[in-house]
Amino acid sequence: MKKETEKSLKTKNLIYETAISLFQSEGFDKATMREISKKAEVSLGLTYYHFKSKEEIVFHFYEKTQEESYSLNLKYCEKERDFKKRIINILTTKIEQFDPYSNFLHVLARTAVDPKSPLSPFSTETSNIRKNAVEIFQHAITSSNYKPPEDLKIALPAILWMYQMSIIYFWILDKSKGKEKTYTLIEVSFDLIFKLLRISRLPFMKPIRKTILKLYSFILGSVN
């Protein structure tokens, strides 16, 4: 395992920032490791020392933004117990976080939807990042003022993460000014989900919960 000094971390961050900038301007496919090293004014060998491939740079982007998301949402949860507000905050925070990288993510989305790609949110390579993302929802639920039914309790964080993925994909395609349609979609769609979750504890909802969990298991089995 590499022990990184302050100087080494600065170099790694320089390479990372340069790469993301190139991915934004030229696209992920066109940018090369050689070009990244040239723009960062470091040797190609040093570039490969920190990142073995362009894909590894993207994994670093995933990890870095995920850590930031986790920290921001933990802070928000410290001052807000309302379940609905917490989930909306997770969704909007992620969109705001991704906004500066919209060009890069638009190109990356074509690769990410391929389940065979290591960059896919559903791939084996991104399993730890996916797990951490689900944990954000887990924390937001368990310490909130909403208590889900027992049979829905385990699956709900992952279901909400899947819902978040659909919101992100819509955001990537959203051409409205300031991504207004995405924020409207979050508000309207989660309001509906929240209402359904509120009545989900009622006895007559048990067969519907069973169907939802069956569908969740089917989707999970298809992507794993």
Condensed to tens digits (0 to 9), the pLDDT of residues 112-121 reads 677 788 888 8
Q: Is the pLDDT score of 179 beyond 90?
A: yes
Mean pLDDT of the region 19-44: 93
Mean pLDDT of the region 13-36: 93
Q: Is the pLDDT score of 224 beyond 70?
A: no
| pTM attached to this predicted model | 0.87
| Contact between residue 220 and residue 158 where contact means Cβ atoms under 8 Å apart | yes
- Quick one: pLDDT at residue 170? 95
Count CB atoms within 10 A of the CB of residue 47. 24
Count CB atoms within 10 A of the CB of residue 162. 16
More confident residue, 209 or 135: 135
Q: Is the pLDDT score of 217 beyond 90?
A: no
CA distance 65 to 71: 10
- Quick one: pLDDT at residue 56? 95
Residue 2: pLDDT band (50, 70, 90) is low
- CA nearest 163: which of 105, 97, 212, 104? 212
The string of pLDDT tens digits covering residues 134-145 is 999 999 999 999
**Amino acid code (one letter) for 46:** L
- Quick one: pLDDT at residue 221? 64
Sign for the CA dihedral angle at 123, 124, 128, 134 comes to: positive
Q: What is the DSSP letter of 192?
A: H
Domains and CATH numbers, the chain: 1-52 (1.10.10.60), 55-223 (1.10.357.10)
- CA nearest 140: which of 182, 79, 96? 79
Q: Is the pLDDT score of 223 beyond 60?
A: no
Query: Taking all residues of the chain, what is their mean pLDDT, rounded to a whole number?
Result: 90
- CA nearest 4: which of 55, 45, 53, 46? 46
88: Cβ contacts below 8 Å, ≥ 6 apart: 186, 187, 190
The string of pLDDT tens digits covering residues 50-93 is 999 999 999 999 999 999 999 999 999 999 999 999 999 999 99
Tokens of 4: 């990184």
The string of pLDDT tens digits covering residues 91-112 is 999 999 999 998 888 878 877 6
Residue 216: pLDDT band (50, 70, 90) is confident
- CA nearest 57: which of 15, 94, 29? 15
Residue 1: pLDDT band (50, 70, 90) is very low
